[in-house]
Copies of this chain bind each other. A is one copy, B any other.
Amino acid sequence: MSTPERLIDSTRELLWERGYVGTSPKAILERAGAGQGSMYHHFKGKPDLALAAIRRTAEEMRATAEAVLDGPGTPYERIEAYLLRERDVLRGCPIGRLTMDPEVVASSELRAPVDQTLDWLRERLARIVEEGREQGQFAASLDGEEIAAAVLATVQGGYVLARASGSPAAFDTAVRGLLSLLAPHENHDRPA
């Protein structure tokens, strides 16, 4: 792998583990096995390298999610598959965790890929919910955007609960709770 690639990879790992403020160029270089000169030759500095790393992570996450969301099954089943897909729960979300970083949030450049990724996910989920609503799988009273946001929030918040307790169990519990609320019943379209 080329040196710039190794630098981006090391940065991605460290951003995931320690966030932007917690990651130093020195740590990146050590992990990548490169010297200072290499980094400043290929990148303008820490923010520039972080931007490349965040964009890469965002692309990858989007591709992973797309594979599940475009998969087979009813709308409910696809949302279920998204929620139950294997995750390294205790590591948290490599994109979501960046929203807790003051310097990422303060920089519109660094925040943009984070925002776009979560926004894309929300729209994608919202369309699936609408689809399920048209098919009568979900209650007509539900709103696609709202359910999509709740699904995404449950995932992001599930990571918080899991990391607080030091166990992935809390994530799974929250997801099961949401799924039990979302589960299709026989007569959603019954008149109130």
Tell me the A residues contacting B by CB distance below 8 Å: 17-19, 21-22, 92, 96-97, 99-103, 105, 111, 114-115, 118-119, 122, 141-143, 145-161, 163-166, 170-171, 173-178, 180-182, 185-186, 192
Contact = CB atoms under 8 A, between A and B. Distances in A.
Most chain B CB within a 10 A radius of its CB, from A114, A141, A149, A166: A149
B149 A156 contact: no
Contact of A99 (B148, B153, B164, B180): B164
Given A118-B164, A119-B164, A146-B174, 7 more contacts: A18-B102, A22-B22, A100-B101, A142-B180, A149-B174, A150-B154, A157-B158
Given A22-B102, A157-B155, A180-B141, A170 B186 contact: no
